[in-house]
Amino acid sequence: MDHPILYSFRRCPYAMRARMALLVSGMRFELHEVSLRDKPAAMLAASPKGTVPVLVLPDKRVIDQSLDIMRHALAQNDPEHWLAGDDAALIAANDGRFKHHLDRYKYPDRHHGDPIEHRTAGLALLADLDARLVVTTNLCGERRTLTDIALMPFVRQFAAVDRNWFDAQPVPGVMRWLDAHIASPLFVSAMAQTRDSAQACPADSVKLRQSK
């Protein structure tokens, strides 16, 4: 194996952020888009937990957490200085509380809760981001960093549940920031890598475990 292999899934937000970090680092890698209902044996042998993303390095080491993949890639080459904006507390809040409310807002039948209650809680967390983004272009300053890319796929998913409702909310900084990242060449490239996929992200099937 000459280059790392990334097992990925196009619509999964965890995989999105891993792909973007790998692309911006300039690391050469083989992208393997997987069917989450028929996972390849090689991926399961490398990471028995069976969730994407999984990065298998040429020396056979395996990195199967998205943030670890991001930080590993940027440790090799960080041309945009993303690691200077690695806000661990903000990322933990996104991956914890915000993701909790996002899942229960997007999939109320699965979680047997009140989606409006969770939508309201998620919006309150976005208001905290907005307080930063009304005074600066990105979450850790003017330039995009690891924190922006770690959070953006999840905010995108939240906004997409009901975009008309989202667009009416008082979070203009978040909207500007989100739209700019969605339109960025980096995001377009990361999504184009597997543009032919029609499978579902783990969160789209109750039988599939959530990615990390």
Helices 172-182 and 146-161, packing angle to 10 deg: 100
Q: Contact, 19 vs 190, CB < 8 A?
A: yes
| Topology of domain 5-81+195-204, CATH | Glutaredoxin (3.40.30)
- Please state which CATH class domain 83-187 belongs to: mainly alpha
Q: Which whole-number Å values give the CA distances from 136 to 167, 172, 182, 188, in the listed order?
A: 20, 12, 18, 23
Q: Can you give the pLDDT at residue 2?
A: 87
Q: Can you give the pLDDT at residue 36?
A: 84
Q: Rounded to an integer, what is the distance from CA 31 to the centroid of its chain?
A: 16
Cα dihedral 41, 46, 48, 49, rounded to 10, equals: -110
pLDDT beneath 70: ranges in the chain:
193-212
| pTM to 2 decimal places | 0.90
Q: Domain ranges in the chain?
A: 5-81+195-204, 83-187
